[in-house]
Structure 1
Amino acid sequence: MTELIVKEDVNLPALPKTVLPALTELTTALGIPREVLASSEEIEYAWRDLPRELREIPGDLRGELIARMCVAVSTGLFDGAMNYIWNAAILQLRQKIRNFGLPVVAQIQQSDFEENHLLELQDSRLLELCLKLNIIDEDGFFFLDQCRDVRNNFSAAHPTMGTVNDREFTTFLNRCVRYALADSSSPRGVDIGSYISAVKGPRFNDHQCQIWVQRLTETHDAQRQMLVSMVHGVYCDSATAEPARLNAVDLCIGLSDIFTASMKSELINNHSEYVAKGLEDKHTASLQFFEKLGFLGLLNESEQHVVFSRAVDRLWNVHNGMNNFYNEPPFAERLLELSQQGAIPETIQEQFVQTVTCCRSGNGYGVSEAAVSYYDEIIQGFSPREVASLIRLASERRSILGRRIASGGSCRSNFKIALGLIDVESVPNVVKADYERLIR
């Protein structure tokens, strides 16, 4: 559940009545025009807009620099105020990188990265790193980089190219607050070495799996995408031990609800690369990976056909083999799970329908009682097209299903039970007459 953040109103005192007249007296005493400083109107407008922006800054971040900024605004020193708020933004971005984890940054950068490296980063490089770590998004990077340029050329940090008015200052302040200071939380990075070591280690227990799922949930989208892609590669590696494969699947199942379109796209790209390079072992393992995550619908129809075809063939072989009554249930359950991941490819629909219905009707000696519930659930989920295929096959004496029904006995009675599972509204008009004949 998302935590509700209550924003505190900031009630600044009214400008002292002596401040604005004092500015006039000061410029007069120095013998310079009053216009070299911000006008009284600009100061009043900037001061009026301050509370709205300060309200967005969490209380623990309203420190010394924010106070100095307010004092600078009250006297019209917008160039100094810009410098103070910019420094506050930079300090907060540095803290967010610390929270992310300097050792993790070093892993991502593939170079040493300690406190001194963070402090020595130029502002431009700091913003680039924050973008890479997803601490700021592309919009934030764009606007903060603009602020950096304005600060370098129009603030008190350097000799200025010109001056800014109250509206330009307020825009600068808004961007620093919105993209750096408004959210005091920050993602925590995941130690990649420890992560891979854990995945490739012994089988996860429930608590261990939950901890890693939580860590991946708390990091940012870009790193989470990279880490999910890595365990997909671990799963598809033929040298990977089975416990590590199961760990990889458990992690991804735990995260599947927050998989973004970009993460799914990355997995599809990796899968397609195996196909392009002719890596059959990895391609087969990758198909299993998508199946276990319930993501078969992301693959193209030809690849879905391969998965369904293998599952249908294995069930049919087991059904026609020795001890089929005892061996069918796991194969029937797997086919049910596959059928719940999306539409059955048209190229395998007829074989799928015939296999399931034949298994449900039995072979003359009976039916696998432990598998019946799986068959019934599959049949109840038949699409109108699959229902039409079922009725057509049942009506053809040349089909396997047609011959079994024609033989009478338990096969025919079991078939009628299966046919009764279908909602009559799902029966297409083109086969309605045959349906009514079969159901009688």
Structure 2
Amino acid sequence: MTNGLVVSSVQLPAVSSFSAPMLTALTSALGIDRSVLASDDQIQNAWQNLPQLLSNIPPHLRTEGMARMCVAVATGLFDSAINYAWNAAIVELRDKVRRFGIHIIPQITDKDFDEAKLLDMQDSELLNLCLKLNLISETGFFMLDQCRDIRNNFSAAHPVIGSIDEYEFISFLNRCSRHALSDEQNMTGVDIKEFMTALNASGFSPEQMQIWCDRITKTFDAQRDAIFGMLHGIYCDPAKDEHSRVTAITICSAFAQSFSPNSSSGLINQHQKYQAKGEQDRFKASQAFFENLGLLGLLSETERHALISAACKNLMTVHQGMNNFYNEPPFAERLAKLSVGHQIPETVRREFVEAVVTCSVGNPYGTANSADLHYQQIITGFSPKEIQVMLELPSIPTIIASRISSHSRCKDKFKSLVVSLQPASIPTSLKSIYEKWQKA
């Protein structure tokens, strides 16, 4: 088994019966010492390790080159064997690039690229390209780059500067097998031009959305980060059609909770550029982008203060206006979206708690029931510091203090909110006030 796949076991014939006598006869006929070639023990040692190494290579990659490599090992020609193994690795790496998509590579490298250029690449250039496309890992690149040096200096492909033994050959083949001749999932690049054409044409159907999300999932990290940055730009562009903006945010929503640090950093950098340039339309849209994705925690504390404070003021305005029971729910929902799961900046904590608790307690005529679902969700998640503010509200000059002291309905509702708090979250200094409200 390799990389989770079951591969067929390789059984090789014994070679000692014909290899040893042949090599002895050959060196004798040429009048040279037998020691110039690998010893019988070295050949046997390498041969015994070959089946396991070959079994780790998928059957479709056990090509003619692998057969030639085995013949070279059987005769002790380890310098030739590593050349055959390396050639097989290079062929497979080229195929990985082809499967990734040759026509996509110019979009990534900003350079012309085609089949001819792929075939003309030096081995070092091919390794660098595979690393850039995430077709090999950094570890794989390091190991294969060492193999490249060994092949150039110790194989039959060039005049050698020394010889290698069976253990060095075994290590060489193992590295090629693990990092090039494997069935690891091959990354497939996203054709950005095709993606943009589809996105701008019309809104995605559920089937289209699934196809493009799958493609984005299968591409490499750097391109995925670039795609999210591009979609953020589309969402923030006031000149874009609404269907393009909706599609952009919908795709990002599918990946928001798994954004890489690079993705998050790139999005924040672009967000701050909008602010620095005074592009208010794009900046406000960018805030909405983070809000809709539940990523407000990425924004600065100052910015979150401004968003939450504005939402609190809007909510209180609606709460104190006409038809508040009907108008409050969307404002309550937005405040919940801004706050649930995020730490409230200390600078806006009191305003936030007072707005939520005041609206949840309501007025003498009742509470906006649909909005109260959001209020209670927020209140049950209050931190100890927010609970402290809440329990202090009845004793300081506030709208809610006036309602609690003047109307039994408001007092009973406040008590129910206090009872709903988690006892473990009550600050020790406020335990007596908490218990008093439970008994009220």
TM-score range, shorter chain: over 0.9
CA contact (8 A) 2:53 2:177 kept: yes
Map of 1:387 onto structure 2:
387
1:416-431 maps to which residues of 2 (within 5 A)? Answer: 416-431=415-430
Evaluate the alpha carbon distance shift between residue 203 and residue 394 of structure 1 in structure 2; reply closer, same or farther with a 3 A threshold.
farther
Map of 2:291 onto structure 1:
291
Distance, in Å, in 1 between the alignment partners of 2:54 and 2:279 is: 57
Distance, in Å, in 2 between the alignment partners of 1:345 and 1:184 is: 46
CA deviation after TM superposition for structure 1 residue 277, in Å: 4.5
CA deviation after TM superposition for structure 1 residue 275, in Å: 4.2
Map of 1:27 onto structure 2:
27
Local SS of the residue matching 2:188: coil
Map of 2:179 onto structure 1:
179
Map of 2:188 onto structure 1:
188
Map of 1:119 onto structure 2:
119
Greater mean alpha carbon deviation, residues 209-218 or residues 260-269: 260-269
Evaluate the alpha carbon distance shift between residue 274 and residue 42 of structure 1 in structure 2; reply closer, same or farther with a 3 A threshold.
farther
Which deviations, in whole Å up to 9, do the C-alpha atoms of 1:311-339 show, x marking residues without a partner? Answer: 22222222123322111111212222232
Q: Aligned-residue CA RMSD in angstroms?
A: 2.0
Map of 2:243 onto structure 1:
243
Map of 2:89 onto structure 1:
89
Distance, in Å, in 2 between the alignment partners of 1:272 and 1:172 is: 49
Map of 1:300 onto structure 2:
300
CA contact (8 A) 1:296 1:341 kept: no
Aligned AA for 1:300? S
Map of 2:265 onto structure 1:
265
Q: Could you tell me the percent identity over the aligned residues?
A: 49
Query: What TM-score, normalized to structure 2?
Result: 0.93
Map of 1:211 onto structure 2:
211
Map of 2:232 onto structure 1:
232
1:390-405 maps to which residues of 2 (within 5 A)? Answer: 390-396=390-396, 398-405=397-404
CA deviation after TM superposition for structure 1 residue 278, in Å: 4.6
CA deviation after TM superposition for structure 1 residue 77, in Å: 0.7
Which deviations, in whole Å up to 9, do the C-alpha atoms of 1:209-246 show, x marking residues without a partner? Answer: 11111110111222111111211122222323332222
**Structure 1 residue 67 and structure 2 residue 67: aligned?**
yes
Local SS of the residue matching 1:360: helix
Greater mean alpha carbon deviation, residues 322-331 or residues 231-240: 231-240
CA deviation after TM superposition for structure 1 residue 81, in Å: 0.8
Aligned AA for 2:427? P
Greater mean alpha carbon deviation, residues 416-425 or residues 151-160: 416-425
Aligned AA for 1:115? E
Query: What TM-score, normalized to structure 1?
Result: 0.93
Distance, in Å, in 2 between the alignment partners of 1:51 and 1:311 is: 68
Aligned AA for 2:38? A
Distance, in Å, in 2 between the alignment partners of 1:60 and 1:257 is: 38
Which deviations, in whole Å up to 9, do the C-alpha atoms of 1:181-209 show, x marking residues without a partner? Answer: 12253111111012123333422232221
Map of 2:8 onto structure 1:
8
Which deviations, in whole Å up to 9, do the C-alpha atoms of 1:148-189 show, x marking residues without a partner? Answer: 122122111122222111111112111111111122531111
**Structure 1 residue 140 and structure 2 residue 121: aligned?**
no
CA contact (8 A) 2:325 2:368 kept: yes
CA deviation after TM superposition for structure 1 residue 279, in Å: 4.1
Evaluate the alpha carbon distance shift between residue 38 and residue 201 of structure 1 in structure 2; reply closer, same or farther with a 3 A threshold.
same
Aligned AA for 2:125? R
CA contact (8 A) 2:16 2:40 kept: no
Map of 1:364 onto structure 2:
364
CA deviation after TM superposition for structure 1 residue 104, in Å: 0.7
Map of 1:220 onto structure 2:
220
Map of 2:317 onto structure 1:
317
Map of 1:411 onto structure 2:
410
Evaluate the alpha carbon distance shift between residue 307 and residue 21 of structure 1 in structure 2; reply closer, same or farther with a 3 A threshold.
farther
Local SS of the residue matching 1:181: coil
CA contact (8 A) 2:187 2:219 kept: yes
Map of 1:331 onto structure 2:
331
Aligned AA for 2:172? F
Distance, in Å, in 1 between the alignment partners of 2:306 and 2:255 is: 26
Map of 2:437 onto structure 1:
438
Distance, in Å, in 2 between the alignment partners of 1:263 and 1:207 is: 26
Distance, in Å, in 1 between the alignment partners of 2:383 and 2:35 is: 79
Distance, in Å, in 2 between the alignment partners of 1:114 and 1:401 is: 71
Which deviations, in whole Å up to 9, do the C-alpha atoms of 1:25-84 show, x marking residues without a partner? Answer: 211111112222112222112112212221221111111111111111111111111111
Distance, in Å, in 1 between the alignment partners of 2:4 and 2:72 is: 33
Distance, in Å, in 1 between the alignment partners of 2:398 and 2:296 is: 30
Aligned AA for 2:391? I
CA contact (8 A) 1:295 1:341 kept: no
Evaluate the alpha carbon distance shift between residue 407 and residue 195 of structure 1 in structure 2; reply closer, same or farther with a 3 A threshold.
same
Which deviations, in whole Å up to 9, do the C-alpha atoms of 1:286-323 show, x marking residues without a partner? Answer: 22212211122233322322232232222222212332
Aligned AA for 2:328? E
Structure 1 segments of 4 or more deviating over 6 A?
Answer: none
Long gaps (5+) in structure 1: none
Evaluate the alpha carbon distance shift between residue 345 and residue 156 of structure 1 in structure 2; reply closer, same or farther with a 3 A threshold.
same
Aligned AA for 1:406? S
Long gaps (5+) in structure 2: none
Which deviations, in whole Å up to 9, do the C-alpha atoms of 1:361-408 show, x marking residues without a partner? Answer: 113333212212111111111122111110011222x12221221221
Map of 1:77 onto structure 2:
77
